[in-house]
A and B are shown apart, each in its own frame.
Chain A
Amino acid sequence: MTAKISYADVEVGTELPAQTFPVTRATLVQYAGASGDFNPIHWNEKFAKEVGLPDVIAHGMFTMAEAIRVVTDWAGDPGAVVEYGVRFTKPVVVPNDEQGATIEVSGKVAAKLDDNTVRVDLTVTSAGQKVLGMSRAVVRLA
């Protein structure tokens, strides 16, 4: 594992480059196929509304996959991720139009740990609402 960021070069509070990730209905269909999660709340508006959701929502695991990209792009090696956990607090609602929704992700180093690892705390929002809570990754730096 070969992270491009050196442990010595980061401090508690170091900010990772923020990113935004678009998600449309087509994205969700593609993710459903790739992940094998065909729950209709992720592609069928009628079904989603019948179970009390405002509209079709993104797979929580899709949002989790996007959020960690802020860490893997920063570290350079996705294999440098040692731990990653999230709480699914609010759904990412995806309207049926070309824009869809946007997932906004920022992160900062929250702690320097043993063995050249750091804990990164992520902030993940969509439409101004926090969609993941307790979103934390431990990553091994060079």
Chain B
Amino acid sequence: MTEIDFITAFARLLRDGKLRKVFAANPEAAARQVHLREADLPSWMQLIPADVEFQADVLLRKRLDLVKLFTPETCRRLGEKLWPTFRSFARENWPPENAANFFDAYQFCERLKQQQSGSVVAVEWNRLRFAFSKCRLAFHSVRMPDARRRTRRGLQFFLRGRGCQWGEYFFYVSW
């Protein structure tokens, strides 16, 4: 197995909550698990688990800020439960690099739906699902607020062009 440098190992530690648990209990075992090169072991051993955990939380909060851009109403509904719920999800799930933020939001909502929390807003979930589907066309009957913040029934409509571009349209069907 190829040995890895300190930065690569440190990045793994920051993204992987399970590895941080191993590190907190036994830093040497964590170093062996990631195949850290011998020369970097002194730097590794001087890391303080509580500080690493705090730094990892900083990264998770940055991720949450981006997830909020795609799911503002869902996040608002979660209220004070938002951070602990997201942290519990994100500690052990790092999104792939391509489309990372959108995919993070998708996976977070998927987890919320599995937990049947009732907090996922249909309009946002439909949008995320369409983005990751190959459908050319989709429509959903939804309730959403209008410009005056009155909740009205409407039709949410998605259309994908020839490339990856897609558009979203909304038609109110009730006053």
Q: Bound pair: A and B? A: no
Chain B positions near chain A (C-beta within 8 angstroms)? none
